[in-house]
């Protein structure tokens, strides 16, 4: 039922789902996430976050949806780490005692206990981004939106942040925008966004095994998988290994409530036929009704989209 909903031009993300968002530069990933927290207002269509319209109730939405952007420098404003983590809570009017408890818990959750009195400018990039993540977590949002949270970090910084993000799986609904496919190999689903459209909504495994979908959307296989394919080893399209491997290659290991068929209350993020115009006279659209005719199965979808222009015609449900 939800699959056919998406096929009609809807996106629904359920409670506890971990959803990757990928696509080329300028494809519309950041536009999508800005629409969710009311930084941008849709000109048409329906956007709902935890049942609320971000255009009408942006502050209520931001209590429920926390966002982490790519550059941690932009978010760090206070003299000490603990003040920075507390910063957003002051705006939310959280009482002092509760604020202390939340800040301590958020700092612990990102592995920065002992850093409370450090000055943010003395931290490494990865540590700064974890401070920014702690600030988001202190607000106790039920939905976490990460827009390329590791793009400014080196390998070690990325690992630090990703470990913390992955530890939150199941406790939050997570949308994770990235250019690195290896970061979302264990997502429940991956959305591919190109030219302002959702061009695929697939499992990580299906994405990795679809050379055409990858190419059309300028997505690059993770190095290890590229090497494996070059050496003629079984690619991601091969059958799933055991439980540990399934998490790494197939996705779907932590299906959220909506994906498992939970009720309407389980849908935490919903977009339907959304349009947004950046510049007057130059329509830049999200989600066009009727832009894609929907095949009834992902197999047919795969064949049906062959040879089309990027972003033009692909919309798979699983
Ligand atoms: N404030 C703006 N005014 C006009 N056009 C904009 C604005 N912000 C984004 N755009 C345009 O909207 C399109 C989508 O941009 P968006 O930032 O959503 O892409 P993205 O997928 O996040 O790209 P990237 O991977 O580079 O971050 C681009 O063509 C971009 O130039
Ligand atoms: Mg972006």
Give tens-digit pLDDT for 255-292.
Answer: 444 444 456 679 999 998 888 878 665 555 555 433 33
CB atoms within 10 A of CB 297: 13
Q: Could you tell me the two tokens for 36? A: 């969710």
Tell which atom from ligand 1 comes closest to the C-alpha of 279: 4
Residue 274: closest CA among 296, 289, 255:
289
Q: With a 6 A CB cut-off, is 135 part of the ligand 1 pocket?
A: no
Domains of the chain, residue spans: 2-70+147-304
Q: CA 268 to CA 303: how far, in whole Å?
A: 32
CB atoms within 10 A of CB 113: 10
Dist. CA 56 → ligand 2 center (Å): 24
Q: With a 6 A CB cut-off, is 284 part of the ligand 1 pocket?
A: yes
Protein residue closest via CA to atom 19 of ligand 1: 26
Q: Which of 21, 25, 28 to mutate to test the pocket of ligand 1 (most atoms within 8 A of CB)?
A: 28
Superfamily of domain 2-70+147-304: P-loop containing nucleotide triphosphate hydrolases (3.40.50.300)
Beta strand segments in 38-147, E: 44-49, 65-68, 143-147
Dist. CA 22 → ligand 2 center (Å): 10
Beta bridge partners of 44: 275
Q: What is the dihedral of CA 74, 179, 202, 7, to 10 degrees?
A: 60
- Give the mean model confidence (pLDDT) for residues 157-177: 90
Q: With a 6 A CB cut-off, is 25 part of the ligand 1 pocket?
A: yes
pLDDT digits (tens, 9 = 90+) for 100-138: 999 999 999 999 999 999 999 999 988 999 999 999 999
Protein residue closest via CA to atom 7 of ligand 1: 278
Beta bridge partners of 267: 14
pLDDT number for residue 198: 87
pLDDT number for residue 314: 34
- DSSP output for 160-172: HHHHHHHHTBTTB
- Burial label for 178, CB within 10 Å (0-12, 13-18, 19+), is buried
Dist. CA 132 → ligand 1 center (Å): 23
Q: CA 286 to CA 273: how far, in whole Å?
A: 7
Q: CA 90 to CA 86: how far, in whole Å?
A: 7
pTM of the model: 0.80
Q: CA 172 to CA 145: how far, in whole Å?
A: 10
Dist. CA 30 → ligand 1 center (Å): 7
Tell which atom from ligand 1 comes closest to the C-alpha of 34: 18
pLDDT digits (tens, 9 = 90+) for 57-87: 998 999 999 999 888 877 788 899 999 999 8
């Amino acid at each position: 039922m939800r699959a056919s909903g998406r096929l009609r031009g809807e996106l629904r993300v359920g409670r506890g789902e971990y959803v990757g968002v990928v696509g080329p530069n300028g494809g519309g990933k950041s536009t999508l996430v800005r629409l969710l927290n009311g930084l941008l207002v849709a000109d048409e269509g329906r956007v709902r976050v935890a049942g609320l319209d971000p255009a009408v109730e942006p502050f209520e939405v931001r209590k429920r949806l926390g966002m982490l952007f790519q550059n941690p420098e932009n978010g760090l404003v206070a003299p000490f780490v603990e003040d920075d983590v507390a910063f957003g809570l002051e705006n939310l009017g959280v009482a002092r005692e509760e604020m202390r408890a939340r800040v301590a818990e958020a700092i612990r959750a990102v592995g920065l206990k002992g850093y409370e009195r450090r000055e943010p400018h003395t931290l490494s990039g990865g540590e700064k981004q974890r401070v920014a993540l702690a600030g988001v977590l202190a607000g106790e949002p039920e939905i976490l939106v990460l827009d390329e949270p590791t793009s400014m970090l080196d390998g070690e910084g990325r690992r630090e942040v990703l470990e913390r993000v992955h530890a939150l799986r199941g406790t939050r609904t997570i949308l994770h925008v990235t250019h690195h496919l290896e970061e979302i190999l264990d997502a429940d689903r991956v959305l591919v966004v190109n030219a302002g459209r959702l061009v695929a909504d697939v499992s990580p495994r299906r994405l990795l095994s679809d050379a055409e979908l990858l190419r059309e959307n300028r997505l690059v296989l993770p190095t290890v998988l590229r090497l494996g394919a070059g050496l003629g080893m079984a690619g991601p399209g091969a059958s799933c290994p055991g439980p540990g491997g399934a998490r790494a290659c197939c996705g779907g290991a932590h299906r959220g409530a909506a994906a498992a068929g939970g009720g309407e209350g389980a849908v935490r993020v919903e977009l339907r036929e959304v349009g947004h115009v950046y510049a007057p006279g130059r329509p830049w659209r999200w989600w066009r009704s009727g832009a894609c005719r929907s095949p009834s199965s992902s197999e047919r979808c795969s064949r049906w989209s062959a040879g089309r222009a990027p972003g033009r015609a692909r919309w798979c449900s699983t």
